[in-house]
Amino acid sequence: MKKPKIALTIAGTDPTGGAGVMADLKSFHACGVYGMATVTSIVAQNTKGVQHIHNLETQWLSEQLSSVFDDELPHAIKTGMIASKDMMKVIQGYLEKYPNIPYVIDPVMLAKSGDSLMDDDAKKDLQNILLPFATVATPNLPEAEEITGLTIEDEASIYKAGEIFINEIGSKGVVIKGGHAEDLDVAKDYLFTKDNVYTFEDPRYETKHTHGTGCTFSAVITAELAKGKSIYEAVKKAKAFISLSIKYTPEIGQGRGPVNHFAYLKKVGLDDE
């Protein structure tokens, strides 16, 4: 039997399974990649919002990562909710030691409910400590504004934000997700690399059930990079994956329900692998 590719997620939890490491592992599986997970924060949340956050001690994260890397190297790494500078420094050490492992950063700052998942100091630390190592960063419009300091209100400002990520921060690639631009009838994302800019469009579906979209999108990119796909190929697959996930939501919960992490697998299968 062929040994599977491995993707590692480093993020917080979601007991309802719609976001965080739970969503990442489902997405890895749907992409045909073996998923591993290390936990940064225990989050009490549901589709209605975030009730409590318990950030683990940095040593606990360090011990988890040590266990993983002492046994089997992942083929790609993803980070989501990272609560503190000390945690970021621990992760940075592994990114420096293994520079050839693709790294995807979902700069999680707010939950879909609007609840803050990161304080102001941690937001600044993210830019200085982790984003320069990113193979792909996946901010939504509010996160891109927070990181770049720009007010993003049109395509020109999106391009300016992309330039800041690539040329000033040092990320190899960045996808600025346009899902928050509710005045458009399409969901348009922009991928910036050092040499090119690509756009991806899909219909915008009228649904409130978008919990975990950012986690899922970035997890699929991670899985595809683990399989050796290019940044462009990985983002293209993630766009198709998340669009189907939103189109066929499972309608779970009383608030903003999760997306369907297996819609792509059911509708398209793995024939494109």
Does residue 213 have a pLDDT over 80?
yes
Cα distances from 147 to residues 21, 28, 91, 131, 182, in angstroms, run 23, 27, 19, 10, 21
31 is catalytic: no
Res 113 pLDDT > 90: no
Q: Output the pLDDT for position 273.
A: 47
Measured between alpha carbons, how far is 6 from 28 in angstroms, rounded to an integer? 9
CA 228 to chain centre: 18
Residue 71 lies in a domain: yes
Out of 35, 80, 214, 257, the active site residue is 214
In a domain, 99, yes or no: yes
Catalytic residue selected from 9, 40, 213, 222:
213
- Reported confidence tier of residue 215, pLDDT bands at 50, 70, 90: very high
Q: Is 148 an annotated catalytic residue?
A: no
To the nearest 10°, report the CA torsion of 56, 23, 113, 141. 100
Instruction: Give the domain extent around 68.
Output: 6-267
Mean pLDDT computed over 167-175 = 97
The answer to whether residue 1 sits within a structural domain is no
Domain count, the chain: 1
Using the predicted structure, report yes or no on whether residue 165 has a pLDDT greater than 90.
Answer: yes
Average model confidence (pLDDT) for the chain?
A: 91
| 273 inside domain | no
pLDDT(29) > 90: yes
141 in a structural domain: yes
Q: Is 212 a catalytic site residue?
A: yes
214 in catalytic set: yes
* Catalytic-labelled residue, pool 5, 26, 177, 239: 177
User: Please, what sign has the CA dihedral across residues 11, 100, 176, 267?
Assistant: negative
Catalytic: 213?
Answer: yes
Active-site annotation holder among 215, 216, 222, 239 = 215
Whole-number pLDDT of residue 111 = 56
What is the pTM assigned to this prediction? 0.94
Out of 13, 210, 216, 222, pick the active-site residue: 210
162 is annotated as an active-site residue: no
pLDDT band at 22 (very low <50, low <70, confident <90, very high): very high
DSSP annotation of 37 reads: E
| The predicted structure's pLDDT at residue 109 | 76
For the residues of 106-140, what is the DSSP string, one character each? ----B-TTS-B-S-HHHHHHHHHHTGGG-SEE--B
pLDDT above 70 for 272: no
Query: Would residue 272 count as lying in a domain?
Result: no
**In-domain check, residue 216:** yes
Instruction: Kindly report the CATH number assigned to the domain that includes residue 105.
Output: 3.40.1190.20
